[in-house]
Amino acid sequence: MGFLLSISRLIDSLNTFTGKFVTWLTLLVVVISAGNAVFRKVFHISSNAWLEIQWYLFGAIFLLAAGYTFLKNEHVRVDILSQRMSERTQVKIDLVCVLLFMLPVCGLIIYLSWPFFMLSYETLEQSSNTGGLVRWPIKLLIPIGFLLLALSGISHIIKCTAFLGGHGPNPLARQSTKSSEELLAEEIAREAAQREQQAGVK
């Protein structure tokens, strides 16, 4: 079990790194979107390439962050019934669902999307829009994104098995009772208070 848990930690590190990388992509999307809007409204300049890069980056954020979202247990859950059950039963349900539904779907999408990407890559598929971008990089993100999600599912299976065997904590337990939005709001408030204090000192 120790070896499997080390694999789980390695997978989690990969998804954590990817998740942090995606946060910078989010900032980049905001900057590009704002820049496009300014240039279009003020200078009447527009470019299909800059519009498409927004779509590409949005797709990258969605696909690459899926594994990290699952790792942090922040994905949408419909657990009206399971939340009334014991911790062990909840973990068993999660284990079965990942094995029977999540991993097969991820595997199927990877299997179907790889030829889709390869065809685009071999033909150097170009956007049909004038001045648009090549298409294969964004198509490559489909199998990569679902591979990261599948790896996160494998890590979750290991942690569920470890918990049921008494070798680890409950992987379904949230790290905080507060939502991500509440934690973000608190962080923003702390930073604002620090800036006010610094301004007062000056």
The DSSP result for 136-186, as a single string, is: HHHHHHHHHHHHHHHHHHHHHHHHHHHHHTTSS--TTS-S-SS-HHHHHHH
Under the banding of pLDDT at 50, 70 and 90, the label for residue 174 is low
* pLDDT attached to residue 111: 96
Closest by alpha carbon to 133, among 27, 57, 34, 31?
Answer: 57
Q: What percent of the chain is modeled with pLDDT above 70?
A: 91
Question: Is the model's pLDDT at 157 over the cut of 90?
Answer: yes
Under the banding of pLDDT at 50, 70 and 90, the label for residue 177 is low
Considering the entire predicted model, what is its pTM? Answer: 0.78
* pLDDT attached to residue 167: 83
Question: Is the model's pLDDT at 170 over the cut of 60?
Answer: yes
**Which range has the worst mean pLDDT, 88-102, 153-167, 183-197?**
183-197
Residue carrying structure tokens 């969605």 = 62
- The separation between the first and the last C-alpha atoms of the chain, rounded to the nearest angstrom, is 56
- In the predicted model, what is the mean pLDDT of the chain? 86
Span 142-165, average pLDDT: 93
- Rounded CA-CA distance 155/152 in Å is 5
Residue 114 exposed, middle or buried by CB count within 10 Å (0-12, 13-18, 19+): middle
- Residues sharing a CB contact under 8 Å with residue 34, sequence separation 6 or more, in sequence order: none
- Of all residues in the chain, what percent are helix, strand and coil, respectively (each to 5)? 75, 0, 25
Question: Is the model's pLDDT at 153 over the cut of 80?
Answer: yes
Q: Residue 147 is encoded by which pair of tokens? A: 């591979």
Quick check: 111 and 103 in contact, CB under 8 A?
no
* pLDDT attached to residue 193: 85
pLDDT for 124-152, tens place per residue? Answer: 888 888 777 888 999 999 999 999 999 99
Identify the helix (H) or strand (E) that includes residue 65. none
Question: Is the model's pLDDT at 181 over the cut of 80?
Answer: no
* pLDDT attached to residue 115: 94
pLDDT for 42-91, tens place per residue? Answer: 887 777 888 888 889 999 999 999 999 998 887 777 666 767 778 888 88
- Rounded CA-CA distance 136/40 in Å is 27
- Rounded CA-CA distance 67/10 in Å is 13
